[in-house]
Structure 1
Amino acid sequence: MDYRVIKENDLFLLTDRTGDIPEGQKEGLGLYTKDTRFLSRMELKINGVKPIVLASEADQNYISTIILTNPHMEEAEKLVLWRESIELRRTRFIYESVLYETLKATNFSPYACSFELSIKLDADFTDMFVVRGFMGGKLGSRTETVVEDNAMTFGYAGSDNIGRELKFGWSGLEGQIGEDGSVTFGVSLEAAQSTEIELYMMPIFNGDEPKLYPKEQAIRTLKSEYERWNEGSVSISSDLPLYDALYDRGIQDLRVLISDIGYGPFPVAGLPWYAVPFGRDSLIAALQMLPIKPEIALGTLRTMAHFQGEKLDGWRDEQPGKIMHELRKGELANTNQVPFGPYFGSIDSTPLFLVLLAEYVTWTEDVALLKELMPNVLSALDWIEQYGEREGSLFTSYFKESEKGIANQGWKDSADSVVHRDGRYAKAPIALVEVQGYVYQAKNLLATLFKTLPQAKEGELDVHLLAERLSDEAEQLRVRFEAEFWIPEEQYYAIALDHENKQVVSITSNPGHALMSGLFAPERAAAVAKRLVSPALFSGYGIRTMAEGETGYNPMSYHDGSVWPHDNSMCLIGLSALGFSDEANVVIEGLLNAAQDFENYRLPELFCGYSSAEGKPVRYPVSCSPQAWAAGTPLVFVTSALGIRLDYASRTIRMRPSLPNGMNRLTVRGLRLGAGRIDVEITRSSEGYKLDIANTSGWKVEQAQTVMQLQ
């Protein structure tokens, strides 16, 4: 990464590798909360000169350490500072809505020396949409900067009637505030002597200043929270270190992306631009984490349920029962100048909400949550029937109504992502292949759960009757889907049907998402599995979003030839569930190979789709990292290796283990199921796979010996 980012809950800091936010930078660097950039400039200088970066680590998400030194300094042929004589160590973290930074200066020269450290600051309070150049509008204005002893506060009066301030304070050395907003510290050090300056920055809304904790207490508490996160996670170990490193990186990155806006912990989409609740992204990341951290699914479901659509509002693409796409809290959203407070332009969030809920209840047996969210479930099902299946469309489809909304409303939401083979972009309403899989899966899973509930009393909802209805609707969808989406000459499914219900014939990764649903006929599922790892779709580093050779293919594009780790993980879930172990391992091995060339083994949001035969994976220029569903991908590797599949009705776990090349042992401890846990050790020898299982879940375990077929 060319940037450094730390985050805790709703506050994050984005800087360059030196830890600075340079004047006039256009990369969007800054200190952000609630979709507002508070700090827009922060430049550290020694004697007025920018220091040299020695080390800039990004391996720990909650704390950042950057080591700098001075260049050689002379004035009028007189030595001021010998090169590399001063070490400047910047250590920073975020706790309870405050950014803490320690600036430690150490004199490594053999002589006493004196110098000045200065920090130039500014705050522009710019809305995220403006920072990124997407939209403008009527905005507020800066107010007077207030100077106090050891602190100064920048102010802003928003057009949304919210007062915003950024307070910057310090201790340790006396600082002189300049007219340009800089703070200068005079430093004198003996040989081998060090000194520290403690800095803090806090965003303030309407004068409500967050509590400033002692630094040592704050970092100790934050560290202990990370330790509890790790201790409460499933642990793995294998004889393939790269596999373990990827998993550990995923667990750490997911922790930094967890937020809570009052309804439980959930993953925001990614840093730096999507540190907000996202329907699709948050739901998929929670699904990836489900056996590892089921409490995250719980928080995600409650958050999405709280913001579920209630009315018809074309400005927000909202209908009753629809699950939101994205929630923003900046000035433009608060004043309704953009439709994102929240925005509902997502066709897949609603069925994914139902899928996650059903899977969560299956894994945890938390039937109480199903009953709690039953009104939301019924409302979401009504949305699919009344609004999802638009007039003239045969399937659940999308159509943008909002003037400032998103045109393509599946996960591939760029304007050119749904393209006919002749180069025409599909026109809405558009019915995506994977969305039909989500709807089918949601109805079948819910039907299974409802059948296990007690018979309804008089006046209550008859859940058994509802289960029969959902099963019937799912079967009707399956028959209709097979007739309309299958392309006989390609032996593959279309990415979508367009506004005329005509197939959009492009070979893409989208059908891979629907594998997990059980929607496909067995022989067609096998054809899809084989095609996903064919040379045209599989780059060697992962499944491409679009096959090489298609009219719309572009390895440098966002959605038409790039490789998205989460896209691969959704394919993996289905490949593993259906017993396509060889294909699943091809995908895992490709992503493992790619990860070796990314910093700290962190899979990014996406990378270019060039073939591995051409060299190392090529970075995508504006890829977010860490990204929640990319971080969740290595977690799917684990459940894929176990080949785990649950039968809720019989409380049976079926496993069909399969390990990627280079691995002959995998130990998984603390897999969450029901009220208990499962520990599994897989070993591979010339005689096949052996499972050693410790099980407190109350479920029985069966080891499948043959490829499982669709049921």
Structure 2
Amino acid sequence: MNYRVIKENDLFFLTDESGDIPKDHPYGPGLYAKDTRFLSSYSLKINGEKPILLSSTADDAYHATMLLTNPHMEDEDGVTLWRESIELKRERFIYNDVLYERITARNYNPSAAQFTVSLQLDADFHDMFIVRGFQHGKTGQKRPPILAPNSLTLRYLGADHVERSTKATWKPDASSVSEKGEVVFSCSLEHDEAEVIDVQIAPSLKQEETRTLAFDEALERLREQYKDWKTNTTTVKTDHAPLQRLIDRGLTDLRVLLTDLGHGAFPVAGLPWFAVPFGRDSLIAALQMLPFNPSIAKGTLCTMAAEQGTKKDSWWDEEPGKIMHEIRFGELANTGQIPFTPYYGTIDATPLFLVLLSEYMKWTGDTALFEELEQNVEAALDWIDHYGDRDGDGFVEYHQEAAKGIANQGWKDSGDSIVHRTGELGETPIALSEVQGYVYQAKTSIAAVYEQKGKTEKAEVLRSEAEKLKHRFDEHFWIEELGYYALALDKQKQQVGTITSNPGHVLMSGMLDEERARLVSGMLTSEKMYSGYGIRTMGRGEAGYNPISYHNGTVWPHDNSLIILGMSRTGNKEAAAKAMSGLIASADSFEYDRLPELFCGYEAKGKAVKYPVACSPQAWAAGTPLLFVQAMLGLFPNTAAGTITLDPLLPEGVNQLTINDMKIGDGHLSFEVQRQASNFSVTINENTTGCDIVKSEKDQQATRSL
């Protein structure tokens, strides 16, 4: 990472490694909220010169520290500041939608030193889509700044008639403040004496006044929030240090990525460009978090339900009952220049909404949420049958209608991701293999909920529809000569037969019979698909294969995680363990042992090869090691049935796994798994869930040890 990013709720700050916002940086650094860049220039200088970076860390992703020093400085009269005599320490975090920065200047010169510390601030108030170069259009105008000895307010009136401003305040008072945004502090320090400059920067809409706190108080409150997060989250301890680092990193990053738009906390997709609700990303990340903090699923479901489609409108790719793809809040969205208010061009978010809801209920037994969302459930099911299935052939397919929308509307949404074995691109409408699995899982799991509520007729209809889908899927997607399923069916209902990771998602749905689940798992862990560091998105040797292509040969951790969960669910545990081992081994190739959005699909020789513009942290990448834990344990609760399936197989190198305070139903489950000579022992330390522990979903015989 050649950038540093911190985030809290709806505000994130992206800089270079020294903590500045330089011009022409490839990531478009700045201070962002509501898809607007509220700070586009921010630089620290000593005596008017850029300091030298010594170290830079942001391993918490909510708190960053940079250590710098001065270059050697002389004028015509001699030395003005000896090299490396001043230490400049920058500490920063975000609390309550305010950026806090503390700059500490310490003099290590043997004698007194006089120098200036200056900050240069500016804001262009550009929309995120303009910053990224994706869109240009009608925009507003900057207004004159407001200056004071202890503050600077930058202002903008948007084309959407929204007043936006960035107010920077500081202590102590500055020596000078200019209309060009330069703030200068004069320092005179004895040996080992320090000067502290505290800066708060608050973006606002409509000239709203933001309340700020003292630096130490705000930091303490933020840390208390993280302590509460840990207290309310399952803890996992293992003897395998690389796995432990991955789990700890994933939990921290997911907490950073939480945002609340008024319906409960949910994970935004990732940083730096996707700090907004994304249908499939947020839903999958919440699914990954169920064993650790199921309340996040509730916030995600309620957020998605609040934006569910209500009408047919091609500009937004909106249809009644459809779950959104992405929502944006900036100037271009507000003025209708882009269709992201929200945009609905996704084929998988609607069935995934139903999958998450049903899985959430299995973990929590929260029937009240189902009752609250029952109309949303019925609308989503209706969308699947009447809008998702565009031609009545029994499969859900997509086709772009919005002029500025997305052409490929599955998770592999790049323009070249649906490619035949001949190298030709598939034409829409496209029916993706994994989407059929999501639909099957949605219908069978919601059927179980309806049955639990006494609505047996609805349950029977859904089960019958799911069974028909299973038979049609096997008939139309299976490629006998390959022993594998097609990626998709194209416009002509021809198989897109390229070997990809997509059919691996179907493993978790329960739609595949035992033999075909075994064959799919075998293909995914074969040399063709498995790089040694994870399962590739496309098989080596296919016409579209490229190890550095975004979707046609790279390794995506979240893609692997859903496949691995499916392997565990279908009893293909050795394949799951192999895939997990590769990703665990890849983690030390990346800063802070953080799995990125994706990485290149080269063979595992030395370090994993980074993908140049992968988001990091990314929600569903952060959630990947959390789903590993569930897959390793073979852990599948069903509070309605009163059972918890627990059938562990730990990957090589993992000999012990201890789980504490896992919330299931109204209670908690704590236990320990130990590797023995040829098996695994399970010791239950606490079970207040009211559920019996069983070894398989078919085994309803209650037992307290395996």
TM-score normalised over the length of structure 1 = 0.97
Cα distance in 2 for partners of 1:107, 1:580 equals: 62
Give 2:586's aligned residue: 594
Identity percentage of aligned residues:
53
Q: Match for 1:147: what amino acid?
A: L
2:695, 2:74 → 1: CA distance?
Answer: 74
Q: Which amino acid aligns with 1:537?
A: M
Superposed CA deviations along residues 330-376 of structure 1, whole A, max 9, x for unmatched, are 00101111000100000000000000000111110001111110000
Match of 1:98 in 2: 98
Query: Which residues of 2 match residues 340-359 of structure 1 at below 5 A?
Result: 340-359=340-359
Is contact 1:579–1:707 with CA below 8 Å preserved after alignment? no
Matched with 1:198 is 198
Between 1:233-242 and 1:99-108, the stretch displaced more is 233-242
Aligned to 1:280: 280
The answer as to 2:478 corresponding to 1:469 is no
Q: What SS does the aligned partner of 1:429 have?
A: coil
Q: Take 2:593 and 2:25, find their aligned partners in 1: how far apart are those partners?
A: 28
Equivalent in the alignment of 2:558? 566
Moved more, 485-494 or 642-651: 642-651
How far is the alpha carbon of 1:393 from its aligned partner?
4.7
- Pick aligned residue for 2:659 from 660, 668, 672: 668
What is the correspondence of 1:162-311 to structure 2 with a 5 Å cutoff? Answer: 162-311=162-311
Alignment of 1:668-687 (within 5 A): 668-687=659-678
Alignment match of 2:481 (pick from 489, 499, 508): 489
Q: Does 1:536 align with 2:525?
A: no
What are the Cα deviations for residues 483-516 of structure 1, in whole angstroms up to 9, with x where unaligned?
Answer: 0000001100001000111100100000111100
The Cα offsets for residues 21-42 of structure 1, whole Å up to 9 and x where unpaired, read as: 0134343100000000110001
Whether 2:493 is the aligned partner of 1:525: answer no
Amino acid aligned to 1:161: H
User: Is 2:362 the counterpart of 1:370?
Assistant: no
Partner residue of 2:568?
Answer: 576
Amino acid aligned to 1:366: D
- Equivalent-residue separation in structure 1 for 2:104 and 2:142 (angstroms): 32
3-state SS in 1 of match to 2:67 = strand
Aligned partners of 1:427 and 1:612: how far apart in 2?
34
Q: Which residue matches 1:415?
A: 415
SS of 2:123 mapped into structure 1: strand
Q: Can you list the C-alpha shifts for 1:383-439, whole angstroms capped at 9, x where unaligned?
A: 001100002654100000000000000000000001001111111100000000000
Q: 1:642 aligns with which of 600, 624, 633?
A: 633
| Contact residue 579 and residue 656 of structure 1 kept, 8 A | no
Which residue pairs with 2:328 in the alignment?
328
- SS of 2:323's partner is coil
Match of 1:551 among 521, 533, 543: 543
> Could you say if the C-alpha distance between residues 649 and 98 of structure 1 is closer, same or farther in structure 2, counting changes exceeding 3 Å?
closer
Letter of the structure 2 residue corresponding to residue 498 of structure 1: D
Distance 2:393 2:317 in 1: 18
- Tell me how far 1:472 sits from its aligned partner: 0.3
User: How far apart are 1:98 and its partner, in Å?
Assistant: 0.7
Aligned partners of 2:3 and 2:14 also within 8 Å: yes
Alignment check: 8 A CA contact 1:10 1:33 kept: yes
Residue 500 (1) aligns with residue 492 (2):
yes
Cα offset, 1:705, TM superposition = 12
Letter in 2 for 1:515: L
How far 1:522 moved relative to its partner? 1.4
Runs of 4+ deviating beyond 4 Å = 704-708
Alpha-carbon distance, 1:95 to partner: 0.8
Aligned residue number for residue 510 of structure 1: 502
Task: Confirm or deny: 8 A CA contact 2:297 2:360 kept in the other structure.
Answer: yes
CA distance in 1 between counterparts of 2:169 and 2:161 reads 26
Aligned counterparts of 2:212 and 2:660: Cα–Cα separation in 1: 39
Matches of 1:497 and 1:611 in 2, distance apart?
A: 30
- Secondary structure of 1:373's match? helix
Tell me how far apart the structure 1 counterparts of residues 260 and 621 of structure 2 sit (CA, whole Å). 20
Between 142-151 and 628-637, the greater mean CA deviation after superposition = 142-151
Structure 2 unaligned spans of 5+: 701-706
Residue 29 of structure 1 aligns with which residue? 29
Amino acid at match of 2:129: F
Aligned with 2:444: secondary structure?
helix
Deviation of 1:310 after TM superposition, in Å, equals 0.2
Q: Write the distance in 1 (CA, Å) between the matches of 2:419 and 2:50.
A: 49
* Alpha-carbon distance in 2 for matches of 1:648, 1:331: 46
Q: Deviations over 1:562-602 (max 9, x none)?
A: 00000000101101111111111111110111001111110
Q: Tell whether the 8 Å contact from 2:102 to 2:215 is kept in structure 1 after alignment.
A: no
> d(CA) in 1 for partners of 2:462 and 2:419?
32
Letter in 2 for 1:523: E
Counterpart of 2:612 in structure 1: which amino acid?
A: P
Residue in structure 1 matched with residue 619 of structure 2 by the alignment: 628
One-letter amino acid of the structure 1 residue matched with residue 618 of structure 2: Q
Mapped partners of 1:254, 1:423: distance in 2: 38
The answer to whether the 8 Å contact 1:604/1:625 transfers is yes
- State the superposition RMSD in angstroms: 1.4
Unpaired segments ≥5 residues, structure 1: 455-462
* Paired residue secondary structure (2:626): helix
How many residue pairs get matched? 699
Residue 541 of structure 1 and its aligned partner are, at CA, apart by 0.4
1:652 to 2:655 alignment: no
What SS class does the counterpart of residue 596 from structure 1 fall into? helix
> Is the Cα contact below 8 Å between 1:130 and 1:136 reproduced in 2?
yes
1:460 maps to what in 2?
A: none
Task: Give distance in 1, aligned partners of 2:71 and 2:56.
Answer: 17
SS at match of 1:280: helix
Report the equivalent of 2:160. Answer: 160
Deviation (angstroms), 1:706 = 11
The 10-residue stretch of structure 1 (669-678 or 343-352) with the greater mean CA deviation from structure 2: 669-678
- The question of whether the paired residues in 2 share the 8 Å contact of 1:16 and 1:29 is answered with yes
Matched AA of 2:562? M
Q: Give the AA of the match of 1:483.
A: E
- 1:43 maps to what in 2? 43
Match for 2:526: what amino acid? S
Q: Alpha-carbon deviation of 1:241?
A: 1.1
Given that 1:6 and 1:64 are in contact with CA atoms closer than 8 Å, whether structure 2 keeps it comes out as: yes
C-alpha contact (below 8 Å) 1:113/1:190 kept by paired residues: yes
Distance in 1, matches of 2:393 and 2:66, equals 56
The answer to whether structure 1 residue 135 and structure 2 residue 135 are counterparts is yes
TM-fit CA distance, 1:648: 5.0
Is the contact made by 1:3 and 1:17 (CA closer than 8 Å) also made in structure 2? yes
1:654 touches 1:704 (CA, 8 Å); kept in 2?
yes
1:309 to 1:439, Cα distance in 2 relative to 1, 3 A? same
In the alignment, is residue 618 of structure 1 matched against residue 609 of structure 2? yes
Q: Distance in 2 between matches of 1:479 and 1:226?
A: 48
Distance in structure 2 (CA, Å) of the matches to 1:293 and 1:668:
13
Q: Counterparts of 2:255 and 2:655 in 1: how far apart (Å)?
A: 29
Q: CA deviation at 1:149?
A: 2.8
- Distance (Å, rounded) in 1 between the aligned partners of 2:393 and 2:130: 36
Alignment of 1:55-94 (within 5 A): 55-76=55-76, 78-94=78-94
2:229 counterpart SS class: helix
* Letter matched to residue 5 of structure 1: V
Provide the secondary structure at the position in 2 that maps to 1:7: strand
Q: CA separation in 2, counterparts of 1:698 and 1:26? A: 54
| Distance of 2:363 and 2:40 partners within structure 1 | 45
DSSP-derived class of the 1:124 partner: coil
Cα distance in 2 for partners of 1:27, 1:232 equals 35
SS at match of 1:314: coil
2:400 maps to: 400
Q: What code does the residue aligned with 1:527 have? A: L
For 1:149 and 1:96, how far apart are their aligned partners in 2? 24
Q: Distance in 2 between matches of 1:336 and 1:651?
A: 50
Cross-structure match for 1:459: none
Letter in 2 for 1:213: L
